[in-house]
Amino acid sequence: MNNRIQSISVLDLDGFAVDLMKKYSDKVLLLIIYNNDCLGCTGRAIPLAYQFQQQYPAIQVLGIHANFVNREATKASIKSVFTSGENPFPIYIDEHHQVFDQFKAEGTPQWVLISEKGELFRSFFGSQDNAQNRLFYAIESLVKNNE
């Protein structure tokens, strides 16, 4: 079964279109699809994503802010959730929540783990302990398979 992802179309924070599958080809990707209005996202998931970026240098963590009606983000509002004022990893904007829909997200945060072959490995919803544990084990098994 081939779960190869052809493209993931987003905007960078300056409004330019980016295809994440082209830009980050041949890398293991951990996408966090989130929204600034989601307290679980800003309080638990984003710090966890940053921790994974530090712990697993072979993995590229990417934040994708899903825009919903009346919950759209700007470059300033995205940066404002980080105490340093700087993004801890690359962050993109999902206009009209197309990426959110593409991965059939259950809500925010939705974690999407993509192998270096561009195949969907796992997708999880949530930021509570059980979701964090499932994500950790999925990353461990994917990284182990790539060694």
| Domain architecture of the chain: domains with CATH | 9-145 (3.40.30.10)
Cβ-contact 40, 127 below 8 angstroms: yes
For the CA atoms of 20, 91, 55, 124, what is the dihedral angle to 10 degrees? -70
What is the residue-averaged pLDDT of the chain? 91
Q: What is the pLDDT of residues 17-47, one digit of tens each?
A: 999 999 999 899 999 999 999 989 999 999 9
pLDDT of residue 80: 84
* Positive/negative CA dihedral, 129, 106, 113, 100: negative
pLDDT of residue 2: 64
pTM, two decimal places: 0.93
- pLDDT for 84 beyond 80: no
